[in-house]
Amino acid sequence: MYIAPVKLLTACVVSLLAISSWALTFADYPARSAKDCAVVSRALGVTIGVEAVESADAQEAYFHMEFAKKGFLPVFIVIENTAADSVIFDKTKMSYGAAGSLASTPPTAPRAPAMFVVSAIPIVGMAASIDIIPKASEIRENVLRKEIRSTTLSPGASARGFLYVPIPKKGGRGNIILHIPITRAGTDNTFDVNLVI
């Protein structure tokens, strides 16, 4: 059966348009101030709010995946600087651990016992595990795009995004403490903010 080249080209274009309309859409996580988050801490003009996004429905809406099955918990973080000086948030100096495993004083270094440095979170492992699901590249790109980044916050500025904390795939996760060091720009003056989720 002979098909005219114009009809064949038209059919191909229509098929490609149909396929491109199948692209995933990701809802943006609701923008909120730090004080509106589930857990809030204030120190020296910096307010940090965090909340764990544990609902499978919320994870599907914002990421199109269930993190618990992959052994991760998405934690939304908002950092607001209301101090007169700029501050530095360095994600690689953050750490986390089981809340019950810490002494009452904050750890003196990100690599304190029972704490794990955030930069060691196997985001590569999570990204690799995403490859087995349809639309993997779109989902991976969305996860990485929503991740919180290291930054300098001038007075009045804020930063927000997600941190993906490893958790057990089965059983309860228990309380997790996030250790967030904040540094005054241009100094070695660092203060610690700890939040339990």
With a CB cutoff of 8 Å and minimum separation 6, the contacts of 67 are 59, 73, 74, 164
**Least confident interval from 123-132, 166-175, 176-185:** 123-132
Top-confidence residue, 35 or 122: 35
Number of DSSP helices (H) and strands (E) in the chain, helices first: 5, 10
Is 129 part of a structural domain of the chain?
Answer: yes
Domain region containing 142? 25-196
Is 7 part of a structural domain of the chain?
Answer: no
Is 84 part of a structural domain of the chain?
Answer: yes
- The band of 36, judged by pLDDT with boundaries at 50, 70 and 90, is very high
Collapsing DSSP to helix, strand or coil, 81 comes out as: strand
With a CB cutoff of 8 Å and minimum separation 6, the contacts of 31 are 160
CA distance 191 to 180: 9
- Backbone angles phi and psi of 96, in degrees to 5: -145, 160
Q: What is the pTM of this model?
A: 0.72
CATH of the domain at 184: 2.60.40
Collapsing DSSP to helix, strand or coil, 50 comes out as: strand
CA distance 126 to 67: 9
Is 101 part of a structural domain of the chain?
Answer: yes
Number of folded domains in the chain?
A: 1
State the DSSP code for 147: B
- Residues above pLDDT 70, as percent of the chain: 70
Comparing CA positions, the residue from 55, 32, 21 lying closest to residue 161 is 32
pLDDT, mean over the chain: 78
Is 19 part of a structural domain of the chain?
Answer: no
Whether 175 shows a pLDDT value over 50: the answer reads: yes
Is 6 part of a structural domain of the chain?
Answer: no
Whether 66 shows a pLDDT value over 70: the answer reads: yes
Q: What's the pLDDT tens digit per position in 111-137?
A: 333 444 454 444 444 454 454 455 678
Is 9 part of a structural domain of the chain?
Answer: no
